[in-house]
Structure 1
Amino acid sequence: MKKWLTKWRLLSLFALMTLVLAGCGEPFLSALQPAGEVAQMQYDLMMLSIIVMLVVIAVVAVIFIYVVIKFRRRKGEEDKIPEQVEGNHKLEIIWTVIPILLLLVLAVPLVSATFKLGNVNVMDKENRKPEDALVINVRAHLYWWEFEYPDYGVITSQDLYVPTKEKVYFNLLGADVKHAFWIPAVGGKLDTNTDNTNRFWLKFDQEKPSDGSEYFYGKCAELCGPSHALMDFKVKALPRAEFDQWIDKMKNTQAVAATDKAKQGEQLFQEKSCIGCHAVNPVDERPEAARTAPNLATFGERAKIAGILDNDEENIRKWLKDPEAIKPGNKMTNTYPKLNDEELDALTEYLQGLKVEK
């Protein structure tokens, strides 16, 4: 009796934990509210699989209950043996054909979707024009993201800008360790490896997620280090005309310090060798290997600082004062100089002025 009670308590505990953990997470990181063609296709495949599995479970459960009731032991019939059906050709054909049909129901749309989602041939065309296909090179670093628009010569970090209602093609590469590029509401994840480039496409059917968030959230979906959970990026989807305007502004923007304090911050940015790692011009002509830190050209208008903190003066100061406390294991920690309050104020004002939208 005691053993039974112990097992029942453990079962109840695990059931309660399952219920509680099922409620964890954030709505903007859900893949159950698709906002693009790829996400919708993957959602439909997932629902089809669930429906097939539920039907199988229901049928098996009904047969099980029927057999338990019909062939239960009754008084006076203890020695009665039910009719045996081994070797019944009809039954064997039925329970062989039905699984094959179920596999076909799952396999046909799955294989079709796999080939459709894997079709990136347009990226290989010679003399491809930007209007033929928008290609974005994604480089994943510890613990930040770089987005390069090779057809336009524009580079940004942490905030990804894309046009709506058209396919956007991605080249994915890891700069240090394996990461994974994932925008839950728009499509499934794909690894960013260090030794090869993965390619795929997404389509953004709307400007904002269905949950009312201001922008789409992206995550690293491959365990990569102590700040893996903090390796976020934001996606701003714009109508094509607005996206083109954004590209034009990026191509023609130069960092200008507007106030005396900002000019002091700009000088500190140079003296402290921040410029050695961080570019402040979205048209970054340095080779790929030299881009070891996020491009700060749009820092003042980013949605978040370090991908996770609200972009305001207080949080900028926190980040500048002790980046290790915000993102453990980040590459800036070991080379970052200590700053006094006056220097923090000056750098904060300078960084807040780095904007494309004036």
Structure 2
Amino acid sequence: MMKGLKKWRLFTLLTALTIFLAGCGQQEISTLLPAGEVAKDQFNLLLLSSGIMLFVILVVVIIYVIALFRFRRSKLGEDHMPEQVEGSNVLELVWTVIPILLVLLLAVPTVYYTYKLGNVTAMGAVDDDGNAENLVVDVKAKLYWWEFDYPDLGVTTAQELVVPMNEKVYFNLIAADVKHSFWIPAVGGKLDNNVENVNKFYLIFEKDSRDLEEGVFFGKCAELCGPSHALMDFKVKTLTRAEFDEWVLAMQATEGATADKASADQGEAIFAESCISCHAVSGAGDPAYLGVDHAGAVGPNLTTFGDRNRVAGFMDHDEDSLKKWIADPQKYKPGNTMPAFDHLSDAELDALAGYLMGLSVEK
């Protein structure tokens, strides 16, 4: 008997611990620590719905406990029959009206925020000179990486989204192969990247990512898309508007940059021989892939590779991890489309990794 009680105590303790730990998380990826207006609106809806559910649970539990103790057999005897309330107009009215009020209490703000957060009419707004008034980013999801194109700025990057703070950033979402889903947990809810159509929404980034432990927000694919779905990550850097404009100018300044097979830098020469057909080292360009049938770039743009904090989205950002990835990408991210370069010698891998780590636009 005592052993059974101890087991139940342990189970109860572990259950309570699980509930408490569910509320913990890293700020850069936690939905419970909202870092933008959209995330805050959605978090408030979460609190409201949770409060309503908790209210219903408490009412049911209280009624159950009262009935359990007040009408227990040991107190009232075997033959006691409680007062029958069948057909009571008061009770019928109570359990009809209260659920309706609770549904309305949840439905009204939900519908309001659904339309508010889905309003992208300002996405194409232009000023008197024909310049875009709002930042628009075209997001293409692929197996298993992300491409970010800034069509009005002529800038393209991959795996790392860079955005200004405290303003609406509009997104066009599409997929190149299978369905994916774009999600930055701390900043807003997910929206699907489909192959056949473009989804649109906006987010507002209110927190400086440099205040976070790793200096970035974490983004995820939230739709099961293949064997490496769990490894399909991207990062988000938030900057002030002035800093963002400087970043854009630095990216535009890379226009025309390429790798030379005849370079004295062995790493650059290897890159030009083996990698340049799939990977660009210029961040200036216009993939114009929202024509749905356009596949976009073959491989991730590497212009800012040295500025990232991960290799392949999830590995440590150092030369050792990079060399392992180059030599055998299938080992670390099964199903991706990058071929293995296991024919390269250690010296060649060292040179190539050093070249890639030197690709940077940040001062």
Q: How does the TM-score come out when normalised to structure 1?
A: 0.89
Matching of residues 132-147 of structure 1 within 5 Å: 132-147=133-148
Whole-angstrom distance in 1 between the partners of 2:76 and 2:164: 77
How many residue pairs align between the two structures? 352
- In the alignment, which residue of structure 2 is the partner of 1:340? 345
Q: Assess, with a 3 A threshold, how the Cα gap between structure 1 residues 313 and 284 changes in structure 2: closer, same or farther.
A: same
- The Cα shift of 1:80 comes to 2.9
- In the alignment, which residue of structure 1 is the partner of 2:269? 267
Give the partner amino acid of 1:300.
G
Q: Deviations over 1:176-195 (max 9, x none)?
A: 11111111110011111111
- In the alignment, which residue of structure 1 is the partner of 2:234? 233
Whole-angstrom distance in 2 between the partners of 1:103 and 1:91: 19
Q: Deviations over 1:187-234 (max 9, x none)?
A: 011111111111110001111287644111101111111111111111
Please, which moves more after superposition, 163-172 or 287-296? 287-296
- In the alignment, which residue of structure 1 is the partner of 2:83? 83
- The Cα shift of 1:16 comes to 4.1
- In the alignment, which residue of structure 1 is the partner of 2:164? 163
Q: Percent identity, please.
A: 53
- The Cα shift of 1:286 comes to 5.2
Give the partner amino acid of 1:308.
F
Give the partner amino acid of 1:104.
L
- The Cα shift of 1:294 comes to 0.2
Answer yes or no: is the 8 Å Cα contact 1:163–1:238 preserved in 2: yes
Whole-angstrom distance in 1 between the partners of 2:247 and 2:267: 26
Q: Assess, with a 3 A threshold, how the Cα gap between structure 1 residues 75 and 301 changes in structure 2: closer, same or farther.
A: closer
1:72 matched to 2:72? The reply is yes
Answer yes or no: is the 8 Å Cα contact 2:327–2:342 preserved in 1: no
Whole-angstrom distance in 2 between the partners of 1:262 and 1:355: 19
Whole-angstrom distance in 1 between the partners of 2:211 and 2:45: 20
Matching of residues 93-172 of structure 1 within 5 Å: 93-125=93-125, 132-172=133-173
Q: Deviations over 1:127-178 (max 9, x none)?
A: 7955511100000011110000000110000110000000100001111111
Matching of residues 1-358 of structure 1 within 5 Å: 16=14, 19=17, 23=21, 26-27=25-26, 28-74=28-74, 77-125=77-125, 132-208=133-209, 212-253=213-254, 255=257, 263-272=265-274, 274-285=275-286, 288=289, 289-333=295-339, 336=341, 338-358=343-363
- Gaps of at least 5 residues in structure 1 are none
Q: Deviations over 1:26-46 (max 9, x none)?
A: 523210000000100111110
Answer yes or no: is the 8 Å Cα contact 1:35–1:210 preserved in 2: no
Whole-angstrom distance in 2 between the partners of 1:14 and 1:339: 56
Whole-angstrom distance in 2 between the partners of 1:63 and 1:20: 27
Q: How does the TM-score come out when normalised to structure 2?
A: 0.88
- The secondary structure found in structure 2 opposite 1:333 is coil
- The Cα shift of 1:271 comes to 1.8
Please, which moves more after superposition, 323-332 or 249-258? 249-258
Query: In angstroms, what is the RMSD of aligned CA positions?
Result: 3.0
- Gaps of at least 5 residues in structure 2 are 290-294
Whole-angstrom distance in 2 between the partners of 1:21 and 1:328: 33
- The Cα shift of 1:342 comes to 2.1
Q: Assess, with a 3 A threshold, how the Cα gap between structure 1 residues 18 and 118 changes in structure 2: closer, same or farther.
A: same
Q: Assess, with a 3 A threshold, how the Cα gap between structure 1 residues 17 and 93 changes in structure 2: closer, same or farther.
A: closer
Answer yes or no: is the 8 Å Cα contact 1:278–1:294 preserved in 2: yes
